[in-house]
Amino acid sequence: MSERVRAWSEPVVIPTYGVGAALKQPQFLNQRVYQGSSGVVYPYPVIDSVSDDKHDQTYTAVYLENAYLKVMLLPELGGRVQMALDKTNGYHFVYYNRVIKPALVGLGGPWISGGIEFNWPQHHRPSTFDPVDWRIVEHADGSATIWCSEIERMFFTKGLHGFTMHPDKAVLQISAQLHNRTAEPQTFLWWANPAVHVNDNYQSVFPPDVHAVMDHGKRDVSEFPIAKGTYYKVNYAPGTDISRYKNIPVPTSYMAYHSDYDFVGNYDHGKQAGMMHVANHHLVPGKKQWTWGNSDFGLMWDRQLTDEDGPYIELMCGAFTDNQPDFSWLMPGEEKRFEQNFMPYKGIGPASNANTDVVVHLSHSDQQTHVGVYVTSPRSVAVTLQRNGALLWQRETALDPVRVLVEEIPQREAFPAHELVLVVTDRVTGQQLMRYAPPKPTLQDIPAAATPAKPPAEIGSTDELFLNGLHLEQYRHATFKPEDYYLEALRRDPHDGRCNNAMGVLALRRGDFQAAEHSFRRAIVRITSRNPNPYDGEAYYNLGLALRFQSRYDEAFDAFYKATWNAAWQDAAFYELARIQSRRGDLGDALRLAQSALRRNASHHQARHLEIALQRRIGNIPAALAAIDAALALDPMDPGAAWEQRTIAGSSTVADALLWNAHLTETMALEYAHAGDAASALAVLAAGPQDAPLNQYLRALVLHQDGQIDAARSALQTAQACSMDWCFPHRLEHVVVLQHALAQALKDGRASYYLGNFWYAHRMPDAAIECWQHAVAHEPTNAIAWRNLGLAYTDHHGDHSAATAAYAHALAHDPSDARLRYEADQLARVRGDAPATRLQTLTSARPLVDQRDDLTIEYVTLLNNAGRYDEAVDIVRRRSFHPWEGGEGRVAAQYVAGLIGVAQTLLPSDAAASLAALDAAIAYPHNLGEGKLPGSNENHIHYWRGVALTALGQHDAATAAWQHATRGDSEPTSARYYNDQPPDMIWYQGIAWRKLGDAARATALFERLVAYARLHRDDVLRPDYFAVSYPTFLVFNDDSVLRHQLHCDYMEALGCLGLRQYDQAAALFAQVLTREPNHTGALTHQRFLNRTDI
């Protein structure tokens, strides 16, 4: 046998840039769009700042190494691959970032580039920057596996991924298991996200049958690899190879529309090496490329994420998904398994086909055929090339991951490539390793882009209404609500079974158990209207859950038993029945029911855990130990089996490998508590942190139910004394636990605060407000509860006065919190405070302003609006900014606005200095943290350059500047994203044409602005159904109607200004500023009223 794979852990020092402290305030963000779906981050805390200070930090690195590969993993950073080296040529086949340099890209803030990131249950993974459990397992065949495991806190699903390396094989195998540990269906996607180094020689290698690629949400489509149309606002006509990094100038995603091949990868033509991903395309269909773009914009993001390792692209590989967003269902107790393989290849050219044994290249011209073969382990192979069944060429040779076969085969006559077949066979075993036949070229139809959901009233049938609502749930849509579709169906048919059940599920998920029960009972009436045994038992199962959460166990037992009549719900229902019987003390029947669940679903890990615990409690220790072995064979990091192993045997290497933090101990304690095993629940809680308030509240409930009333009262007192920091309840059980606490101690302001957080996160604002009001009544110094009230009063009551008072209380009790100051300023903007008032407030709070990028930009904006340009530019130049992905543009906009303002004040007296300021506005300094997109809108800069050059007497240069100012899109549009054409730039095009003497063109542009505004002012502007991200990290809900109306009024004002209809323009500017006193465009351009020189 070959030398064993080495697997070990050791400390490694990596230069690391720090991140800010996690915000103590819960960030609810119910309207945030992120990666095409909901950007809700609760219950995770948000970190909204990163540092420019670099220090050496020690991490625990875990390694796998054989003769060909060396791989380093970092469990402290999400269990990611940090380095993957091909030892045979020194090639890092995934991007090796030698620093940890977070940028604000992740769902909750910090995200790092490079390596392989594993994203689930959404992209990017909520816990991508958090530690995971891990352990090393060595196998008898000389291979080794590193397991990484986590139960995430948003949907409580469990992810387990194991990295396996075999002796003498240059492949990193990744085995993934995703398990739904909750009682409700959950949605998920999985994207392994390898990054790779790129340069002008780089090419992404998609399978030969990929002829079309699609954008996020399938909202747009392009031909591939030769794009011929407009994609991401770039015109690639008449034909551009977008498999080449160098040809893509802007941030761009594309995902394969369809492929019947199992691979995706890349190739560096300069280094003659690449990376390959291989997986069963039936389970792992997703093939995606993402790039920041080969331009100043993308290179700036590279600088934000690394020091010296240069640009990269991501070649993402999706399991049970082929797009983002594209979620699949994971039913209660269900586990999904799949395998992904990453490996280097070299020397043969871009792959034509690949599996875990061999990669082949086959290209053909009229004169010759090029053949390349790479193998992942030493083999003696026979390679044949056939044409229409006739042998053209063959070669027998010994290959390994160092030695490749490359052959140029001349051809006597011209023929098409699809007549060729390349076959690679193992000469020792006779196994055919690869058979590749190039697909026959055909005219392929480009698939249609997806279309948004229609408004509910426009949908014809209740069936379609249900499917649209379910789709919105499944894809976690951020701005369209599934209940709108279900309710429209119920308006037409109040007893519709599916929609009543769906409304019940929504109520159940938000903790409204009585409303859920009502809906489920209505659903059951319909589905049993013709017979008592419905085709689908989901409504009975869901009714059981709603009743169980109300502690109505006898009724729940009946409902769960009825659900077992349908195979689809048997395992979940039997498991719930087993827990109820265990609560009742009937351990024998509970064991029988748990085993019934396992007969239906052997991978129901909680049922297996319950079986182990019941065997132990009954006294059948040998059976319990055998069940533990079976559980750990299925899930080597199963916490329930590990805890039971420690309980029975006194020790457990698996339990020792787990991070028994507050989240995991609560998870395990709840499993025991649901089964009525108070002793075990309390033992688990005792093993975890004692300063976690929710764990102490749970402990109080368990003690109370166990009859230990004095101990329960003491636990409540302990819970109230715990720190509130980052305590964001999210489990449905938290409703029961906290309501119990309030029933025992009505003066517990902490429990009210926590429960309010739950209600607000689950879109029950009135209940949240009532809880927070109770919280501040009993603990007036709770600044976060006051802040939460301010949010709710604004967004749900529209009561700016009450919100202002709430924020005043919050700041009075925590005056040093810069985040609070930022939110209070945003409230001042929403309620319409004058810019001068906001500026005065922020000036008096400069130490807090200086702590935050967003607050600094608000301050700089106010300075620019006040005409204090020199101060604004000076602040921007002295600070290093770190924008959120999707929030780019704000820093650069104020930098440019300040410099234009400086230039205007210098004219005409110092035209040279004015021109210097304008030239500086064209080139963004690195400290802005933002690069410039190709074709950026700079009409304003070039217009004023023309004015300055005229003042200097350089008339030809001035004409060239004004000609430049006329460029760009001249069609008005609605205001959504930072790279949309703003009306200001069209106005500048018009006045530039006027300077050039073309009054007709100028007038046409101004009239176009007026016409668009008048035509579209009353449009009902719905949220962008396919939005990938919104450009601002909103504190308060956005009033899209007001924003659209202001946009149109402002656009018309600009048009009138250009037409020199000054009275109409003045009235429109005043109208805008009355409704939005901080409207930068109106404040800036009203200064040009009656300026006939413009």
The per-residue pLDDT for range 719-751, each reduced to its tens digit, is: 999 999 999 999 999 999 999 999 998 789 999
Q: What is the pLDDT of residues 37-61, one digit of tens each?
A: 999 999 999 999 999 999 999 999 9
What CATH number is attached to the domain comprising 414? 2.60.40.10
**CA nearest 668: which of 693, 691, 699?**
699
CB 150 within 8 A of CB 175: no
pLDDT at 1031 over 60: no
pLDDT of residue 1: 47
pLDDT at 362 over 80: yes
What mean pLDDT is predicted for residues 519-526? Answer: 99
Cis upstream peptide for 285 (omega within 30°)? no
Six-digit token string for 140? 């008898």
**CA nearest 447: which of 242, 211, 237?**
211
Q: What is the largest CA-CA distance in the chain?
A: 99
Residues 64 and 208 in one domain: yes
**CA nearest 590: which of 547, 622, 628, 557?**
557
351 to 257, 270, 636: CA distances (angstroms)? 19, 15, 35
Q: Tokens 């679903």 belong to which residue?
A: 601
pLDDT of residue 46: 97
pLDDT of residue 794: 97
CB 747 within 8 A of CB 62: no
Q: What does DSSP say about strands 420-426 and 212-214: parallel, antiparallel, or unpaired?
A: unpaired
What mean pLDDT is predicted for residues 690-709? Answer: 98
Domain-located, residue 851? no
Q: Which of 420, 436, 452 is the last residue of a domain?
A: 436
CB 771 within 8 A of CB 753: yes
For 240, phi then psi, to 5°, come to -135, 135
908 to 897, 922, 939, 953, 960: CA distances (angstroms)? 18, 21, 20, 12, 19
Report the distance separating Cα 475 and Cα 281, nearest Å. Answer: 22
- Sequence-ordered list of residues with C-beta below 8 angstroms from that of 572, at least 6 positions apart, any chain: 183, 331, 332, 333, 541, 563, 597, 604
Q: What is the pLDDT of residues 401-429, one digit of tens each?
A: 999 999 999 998 999 999 999 999 999 99
Domain-located, residue 797? no
232 to 219, 248, 1022: CA distances (angstroms)? 11, 10, 21
For residue 433, the surrounding DSSP H or E stretch is: strand 432-436
CB 71 within 8 A of CB 81: yes
**CA nearest 511: which of 318, 268, 715, 768?**
768
For 165, phi then psi, to 5°, come to -125, 140
Q: How confident is the model at residue 1023 (pLDDT cuts 50, 70, 90)?
A: confident
Residues 332 and 368 in one domain: no
Instruction: Report helix, strand or coil for 970.
Output: coil
Give the number of residues written for the chain: 1094
CB 152 within 8 A of CB 44: no
Report the distance separating Cα 1039 and Cα 1021, nearest Å. Answer: 11
Six-digit token string for 979? 């790279």
pLDDT of residue 977: 63
Torsion of CA 926, 930, 936, 938, to 10 degrees: -60
Residues 361 and 304 in one domain: no
- Sequence-ordered list of residues with C-beta below 8 angstroms from that of 952, at least 6 positions apart, any chain: 911, 912, 915
Residues 313 and 371 in one domain: no
Report the distance separating Cα 644 and Cα 582, nearest Å. Answer: 17
Domain-located, residue 674? yes
Residues 105 and 232 in one domain: yes
Q: Side-chain half-sphere of 883: how many Cα atoms within 13 Å? A: 23
The dihedral sign for the CA sequence 426, 432, 433, 439: positive
Number of domains in the chain: 5
What CATH number is attached to the domain comprising 672? 1.25.40
Report the distance separating Cα 557 and Cα 632, nearest Å. Answer: 30
Six-digit token string for 428? 């020792």
Q: Which of 722, 753, 777 is the last residue of a domain?
A: 777
- The separation between the first and the last C-alpha atoms of the chain, rounded to the nearest angstrom, is 84
Domain-located, residue 782? no
What mean pLDDT is predicted for residues 641-651? Answer: 97
Q: What is the pLDDT of residues 990-1016, one digit of tens each?
A: 999 999 999 999 999 999 999 999 999
What CATH number is attached to the domain comprising 331? 2.70.98.10
**Number of CB atoms found within 10 A of residue 612's CB:** 27
Q: Name the DSSP class of 320.
A: S
**pTM of the full structure:** 0.96
**Number of CB atoms found within 10 A of residue 736's CB:** 18
Structural domain boundaries, residue 74: 6-345
Domain-located, residue 359? yes
Q: How confident is the model at residue 974 (pLDDT cuts 50, 70, 90)?
A: confident
Q: Which of 345, 372, 405 is the last residue of a domain?
A: 345
pLDDT at 979 over 70: no
pLDDT at 26 over 80: yes
844 to 805, 813, 833, 864, 873: CA distances (angstroms)? 19, 18, 16, 18, 19
Q: What does DSSP say about strands 133-138 and 144-151: parallel, antiparallel, or unpaired?
A: antiparallel
Six-digit token string for 93? 């086949």
742 to 131, 759, 764, 862, 944: CA distances (angstroms)? 34, 15, 18, 46, 65
CB 778 within 8 A of CB 809: no
Residues 217 and 307 in one domain: yes
Q: What is the pLDDT of residues 882-933, one digit of tens each?
A: 999 999 999 999 999 999 999 999 999 999 999 999 999 999 999 999 999 9
What mean pLDDT is predicted for residues 24-38? Answer: 92
CA 854 to chain centre: 21
Residues 971 and 1048 in one domain: yes
Q: What is the pLDDT of residues 1034-1060, one digit of tens each?
A: 799 888 889 999 999 999 999 999 999
The dihedral sign for the CA sequence 217, 218, 224, 229: negative
For residue 872, the surrounding DSSP H or E stretch is: helix 869-877
Q: Could you tell me what percentage of the chain is helix, strand and coil, using 3-state DSSP and rounding each to the nearest 5? A: 45, 20, 35
Would you tell me the crossing angle of helices 693-705 and 662-674 to the nearest 10 degrees?
20
- Sequence-ordered list of residues with C-beta below 8 angstroms from that of 527, at least 6 positions apart, any chain: 497, 534, 535, 536, 539
**CA nearest 79: which of 39, 120, 23?**
120
pLDDT of residue 1032: 54
Angle at 758 between CA 755 and CA 759, to 5 degrees: 90
pLDDT of residue 344: 99
User: Bridge partners of 73?
Assistant: 62, 81
Q: What is the pLDDT of residues 789-802, one digit of tens each?
A: 999 999 999 999 99
Instruction: Report helix, strand or coil for 324.
Output: coil
Q: What is the DSSP string of 978-995?
A: TTS--HHHHHHHHHHHHH
pLDDT of residue 1040: 86
Report the distance separating Cα 1076 and Cα 1057, nearest Å. Answer: 19
Residues 367 and 330 in one domain: no
pLDDT at 716 over 80: yes
Q: What is the average pLDDT score of the chain?
A: 97
Residues 414 and 480 in one domain: no
Six-digit token string for 19? 């991140």
Residues 412 and 466 in one domain: no
Residues 338 and 360 in one domain: no
pLDDT at 980 over 80: no
What mean pLDDT is predicted for residues 954-973? Answer: 97
Six-digit token string for 981? 């054409």
Domain-located, residue 934? no
Torsion of CA 136, 138, 143, 146, to 10 degrees: -10
Q: Tokens 């069940």 belong to which residue?
A: 627
Residues 667 and 732 in one domain: yes
Report the distance separating Cα 504 and Cα 486, nearest Å. Answer: 11
CB 147 within 8 A of CB 636: yes
Domain-located, residue 153? yes
For 1044, phi then psi, to 5°, come to -65, -45
Domain-located, residue 1026? yes
Q: Side-chain half-sphere of 889: how many Cα atoms within 13 Å? A: 16
pLDDT at 771 over 70: yes
List of long-range contacts for 1091-1094, beta carbons under 8 Å, 24+ apart: 1092/1060, 1094/991
